[in-house]
Structure 1
């Protein structure tokens, strides 16, 4: 048998193999580290658009996150809060009794029919010597009452008609919508004036009912369209497939999901109701009792002195514009926050 060669041969590739093994080990470590990082960040969203890990957020909570960073909404909210606080605490904020004629002795029909500002009366008085600032503050109560009740009545009426038309359909839908179309074809202020004229005696409730009737068709059409869109949605079809009754489907599934646009429209109606109420009071359709001041009523009284004493009309007009502006800013911001198509 041939003898084995016991001589040691030189290992020429030992250094190269060690470098290769080290490189493969480092690459594997980096790859493992990268996989661990991806696993740790899975479920978190970056700026590209992944969903952040955590519990789901409701539509209202999501809208509030955007609204609290929206300067337009914050300005409107501040105006609205100030207006509501002034109206609620008007009796304590008013420096004088808005009915008592404190400066009646300074009223001169020929030379000085409207007393000007003086200590204790920063805005002066009206033609009957009553403190103008106190009447503006107390008048905010009547404006708030009109705006709130107009919105409540119109929303309730619109919910009833819109639910009937959108949920039942058929001849009920056709009948309701034709009546709504007829009412919407008339200018809202003209329709409100026509309704207010029918009252035997003008009052604050005459203004409220007249304006509320004009806005019921707006809410009815809005809710009906939203409920028609809900009729063929997945959750409604699933409820029907499970045998849920129509009433439960309408009031538990369709109606709650259709209230978002109604809430937005309600904030806008608050603004227009303030303006319409002032217009009807200016035309003499409101409460004729001047012991209860109201901004539109004060505008109607001031038109006699508009050329010589324009401040009598400027102050109530400015209050109406600012309050309506605040409600409008809130409504438009809510519309953008709740509507996915217009979110910023």
Structure 2
């Protein structure tokens, strides 16, 4: 079976247990294929945690869950040097933290202060952790999925722009459709009634997707053709957020700071992965448009005028996509 067929099968397996959130599952797989990290924002109970848990169930990968709280310490994430004694001799040994895993769920990341959030910076960007002057590499297959709740902002610590920029995508999760909600009710009822036997667990383990499949898929994604016109279109979209006065007076009023070069790189990676998932041999402008909001919404700093008028990042990106011509 080809890597593409295997990943599509993985998506369907997750979709059978995470109902009504097809877009989130697709973005989760794009993040994995594009070798990036995700910030997922949504109200409680929308299967954010369930999605990455199911991904680890069907993928041969370990999962760590870190519950961010105000009293969490950076060493609780990265690990620390522990002093061991044996036969009258002592030495410091590094005891790795939960970040040393393939999939890391940073649950409610904005509940911890900035120094704890910053403990993820090196891991997310450089795929390594430095403790006591020693650098420890992270697994080759590595993804951080951080979640945050858009309500209950009292007692939270908003993520600084430097850390937001390190997330490949900022994904919004909305309520499922009415028909899906009925299916969710039935699924949970069936799961509670089902006795998870050892035979069922063994069967699930045998169907796990190998990590090598992800690496093979990444090679195919890198080989997807992207025409110069599409590359220019990506650059023009990002440039429009930096020099909005060239396009529209409202954009100039709404945007305070535009997207960084990571936005350009993110659009390239994600549009390739999106095109590959859709079975395209080359990247089309509509592939870029389909992923633009998730890649750019956390990289644009809105002005006070935009906030006063109730203008969101999505509205700004809609305007950018509308105004920037496809070459």
TM range (shorter): under 0.3
Structure showing the higher strand proportion among its residues: 2
TM-score normalised per structure 2 = 0.22
